[in-house]
Structure 1
């Protein structure tokens, strides 16, 4: 077996190697910057969504005369209240964070 002798690179080869190293350094720094930007964006969103608690609110909801609450429940980010108003059933929904009314569904019997 013959061993190939390792020779010093020529000036053109050395310039090419330096250029490739420089391009690899630029690509590596760009990739690191992109990964850092993504991690910062994820951290910011996590911090903003869980780090800031909802403001405390006291809300008084007025029910119609003779109404009674049949049931309550939570569906997603909604608070659901089922009312019995003089024999008719009504469902009212509220936003769970702000407690503002979102919708009302009334059931009536057909004549």
Structure 2
């Protein structure tokens, strides 16, 4: 026997079971970490590719002509639409505009039954 040869005793059955359990726990931890890293990379890639097709935000100056005597009652945003509620001569009207282009997309009038 030389000095580089060292005798390593065989592990006892309890030690072998402990080693197997530690290996299994390390495998589970490694797979969980790999799954988390993949999820983050997929999320980042999705955001990058999704934002590529979008046009850069532009600044718009627009003038919407309201009927004479009209009063804006409320305004809001619903999805990609700008919603303006106006009152014209006692009749309530809702006008919608595309939030990106500010082009009119619809008009809804409310009137009382005669």
Fold conserved between structures, TM > 0.5: yes
The structure 2 residue matched to 1:85, chosen from 64, 85, 88, is 88
Structure 2 regions of 5+ residues with no counterpart?
1-41
Gap regions ≥5 residues in structure 1:
1-38
3-state SS of 1:110 partner: coil
Name the structure 1 match of 2:68.
Answer: 65
SS at match of 2:53: helix
Deviations 1:19-44 (A, max 9, x none): xxxxxxxxxxxxxxxxxxxx7x8443
CA distance in 2, matches of 1:78, 1:94: 5
SS at structure 2 position matched to 1:72 = strand
SS of aligned partner of 1:45: helix
Give 1:46 shift.
2.9
**For 2:112, what is the secondary structure of its paired residue?**
coil
Give a deviation string over 1:84-107, Cα, whole Å, max 9, x none.
101000000000010000000000
Match of 2:100 in 1: 97
What is the number of residues matched between the two proteins?
72
Question: What's the CA shift string for 1:62-105, capped at 9, x where partnerless?
Answer: 00000000000000000000001010000000000100000000
TM-score by length of 2: 0.56
